[in-house]
Amino acid sequence: MKFIDLTIYKEILMTTEVSINLGDEAGLTILYAYPNNSEINETLAETLAYWLKQTIRRDGFEKQGVTLVVNKDDSNNFTMVLSGDESLKFQLERYQEIHDEFSHLGLNFYNNSLLSIMDDELWDPNKKDWRFLLPLGMPLMNMKAIQFFHFPTLRLLCNERDALNDPVPKRVEDFLELNGVDAEDTEQYMMMANSIPVAGPDDEGALVDDLVDKFRADFEQYDTDLINMLLKTTQNDSQQTLPIITWGKTTMEMFNNVFKTSLSYPNSVDTATIFEEKDTPVLSMAHPFSFFYKVQKEPEADSGITYPGTGVYQLTNDSSYGFNQAIEQNRRDIIGACWIETITAKPMSAKEAYSIAEKTWTDESKLTEIKKWMLYHGSMWVENGSTGRWEFEIAREGFFGTESFFNFGSDNFISNEAEYST
């Protein structure tokens, strides 16, 4: 008698397929900024799969064995097919409602506002190919926090095609891990929801802001719709929504205007009422790039070297005052990550969570840890031009050992505790 391995059939029987209607070719071309890069030989279906796989991974489903394919029918309509364990069927089906919300938000803003804005003289004045860009590849169902930034950088759409493959969010993720978040879960906290859905070069933020000033009502309505959508599609506590972190003064001011908060800059907290009369805890933070400007050596004029991004740690102000400024900003940034972890672990008021985080990281025993991370992140290097390649020049492995850290630090303004005390 031939025996059949029933475990194989059991696995097959427990597998489910969920089909999510994504929409038609015209709408998806707009929503997913297709083609992301004319030099990438990729179909629309392949581009959709590329970004949606990032979302599936960051929502935590990839590690549960969920796979994804995108199909196109004869009418140029596209479908995402998710395959996974039967126990995940209900959760995966929620992507239909979520993607419908996402599509409606994007197409409504594009068709009713952005098309006319793009005809204005302030749109892309230097002809750098500004693009409409939604938060692609981000967690949409199981996100734990909303990171509210200024505008998306064009290089991360055209080259790396990953909003989290950048030293700015990486610094936030590092500090989340430092405060107890598992490394494989940090991306669930990193919904990069930009206030302005216009991708441009890193150095054209002021030009983007000129455009926003002229069409402020349109962009404020987009922010209202975006935040409401994200809070709606996320599983919220009965009394409190996900926390929101505003990064940079311009973004904080936009958030204050739209949601009637009273945040000040940096590291202040407030509570907004945005979605279904629930409390939304909010924290303002200095933009991570401001840290890099503080601690990196500035290159010679016209050198062509990316700044910040030289890979060379050297305080702009080589003095105890400059050193202490950098220490305190680094401490504030770590406190911010601690606030995120604290308030997501257990719902509480924004002020209570900040008090806990501040008490944790103003303890004198934390000073060496703060210095280590200041030096490590201060070694950030970015390749010249706009390819998006970057790294921290100091290898993380081994650097955080006491001997390696102090050998490096002795030449970088940390060894003289009398002069550079906090």
Domain boundaries, the chain: 287-422
Q: How far apart are CA 130 and CA 127, in angstroms?
A: 8
With beta carbons less than 8 A apart as the criterion, state whether 117 and 197 touch.
no
For residue 13, with 0-12 CB atoms within 10 Å meaning exposed, 13-18 middle and 19 or more buried, which class applies?
Answer: exposed
Compute the CA torsion angle 305, 311, 316, 318 (nearest 10 deg): -140
Tens digits of per-residue pLDDT, 268-316?
999 999 988 899 999 999 998 899 988 888 888 888 888 889 998 887 5
Q: How far apart are CA 277 and CA 120, in angstroms?
A: 38
Token pair for residue 6?
A: 């029933």
Residue-wise pLDDT for 128-178, tens only, equals: 999 999 999 999 999 999 999 999 989 888 877 999 999 999 999 999 999
| pLDDT at residue 410, rounded to an integer | 46
Per residue in 43-100, pLDDT tens? 999 999 999 999 999 999 999 999 999 999 999 999 999 999 999 999 999 999 999 9
Output the CA angle 10-16-21, nearest 5 degrees.
170
Tell me the backbone φ, ψ of residue 226, rounded to 5 degrees.
-65, -50
Instruction: Grade residue 413 by pLDDT with cuts at 50, 70 and 90.
Output: very low
Q: Which stretch of 78-92, 338-352, 393-407 has the lowest confidence by average pLDDT?
A: 393-407
* Residues forming a β-bridge with 191: 146
- Please state, in angstroms and rounded to a whole number, the distance separating the CA atoms of residues 182 and 189: 11
Give the C-alpha separation, 326 to 329, whole Å. 5
Helical segments of 215-301, H only: 216-233, 249-259, 288-295
**First CA to last CA distance, the chain:** 79
Q: Read off the pLDDT of residues 253-266 as tens digits, 9 standing for 90 and up.
A: 999 999 999 999 89
225-254 as b/e, with b when 16 or more CB fall inside 10 Å?
Answer: bbbebbbebbebeeebbbbbbbbbbbbbeb
| Helix, strand, or coil (residue 63) | helix
If you ran DSSP here, which 8-state letter would residue 112 be given? I
Residue 411: its pLDDT value, please?
46
Question: Cβ-count burial of 100 within 10 angstroms (0-12 exposed, 13-18 middle, 19+ buried)?
Answer: middle
**How confident is the model at residue 14, as a pLDDT?**
75
Q: 234: pLDDT confidence band, cut at 50, 70 and 90?
A: confident
- Quick one: which of 113, 163, 173 has its CA closest to 138? 163
pLDDT for res 302: 84
Q: Encode 364-375: b = buried (16+ Cβ within 10 Å), e = exposed.
A: eeebeebbbbbb
Average pLDDT, the chain: 89
What is the predicted pLDDT for the residue at 165?
A: 93
Percent of the chain with pLDDT over 90: 71
